[in-house]
Amino acid sequence: MGKASSSKKVARVARTGGGRTARGSRNWLWPMFMGIIVVAGVVGVAFSRNQGQAAVIHPTLGDHWHAAYGFDICGEFLPDLPQPPSLIGIHTHGDGVLHIEPQVSADTGKAATLGRFVSGYPGLSLSATSIGIAPKTWRNGEKCDGKPAVVQVKVNGKTASGDPKKIRIPRNGWITVAFLPKGTSFGPPPNWKAKVDAANGGRTATGAPLPGHTSSTTPGTPASTPTIPTPTSTPPASGTPTSTP
């Protein structure tokens, strides 16, 4: 009887896979599983926060940026545009500088473009084929010094392609919109850095005070009120378009 009873116990142990050893394995699996879930959760939260921070594209509401701009027509820069009657979030105060002060979402992030400035300035138009500053328009194919000219744009020294209205305005940089024969070299607006520094409140792009600076142009007050050139019926001088649209 003793042998029979022992044989039954051995059989039961075999059916359970070793008794205590199997139960011990199951007890370890649960804590390991829960640990993996906790670690995955922490990693997920950290990744989500990083993604949220990376999604912020400046300028945002509350930012205040500056960039110099200029219109180079047949090798001569036009006078700075005067301050318009009303201001949107991207505007000028007649100082040759674009002031980027977002007021609505249309002024922020990737929407802070040259086209946004143009849309808020009466009489100003811009495309890949023409530049319009009322009452004058320069169109691709018209001539500068006898050579067909086209609209070209440079941003911080780099030639931009495509629709110029989609060009994003650089912080503390410059934009030149030119109407010149292809292959003609052109650069930044005159005194662009001094203009940007003055707009920054008499400080350089790095925040350092300008030597001898005591004041800056008051926002909302044009630095000057230049006139926009008008078409003329007299023979054009050198450096001006040879045809009037």
- Residue position matching structure tokens 């609209």: 151
Instruction: Report the pLDDT value the prediction gives residue 43, as an integer from 0 to 100.
Output: 61
Q: Is residue 138 pLDDT above 60, yes or no? A: yes
Q: Report how far apart the first and last C-alpha atoms of the chain are (Å, whole number).
A: 120
For residue range 167-206, list pLDDT tens digits in order. Answer: 999 999 999 999 999 999 999 999 999 999 999 986 544 4
pTM equals 0.64
> Can you spell out the DSSP letters for 150-214?
EEEEEETTEEE-S-GGGPBPPTTEEEEEEEEETT----PPTTHHHHHHHHTTSB-TTSPBPTT--
What is the arithmetic mean of pLDDT over 98-118?
Answer: 94
Q: Using one digit for the tens of pLDDT, what is the confidence trace for 42-78?
A: 666 655 565 545 578 989 998 999 999 999 999 999 9
What integer pLDDT is reported at residue 236 of this predicted model? Answer: 41
CB 202 within 8 A of CB 183: no
Q: Is the pLDDT of residue 100 over 50?
A: yes
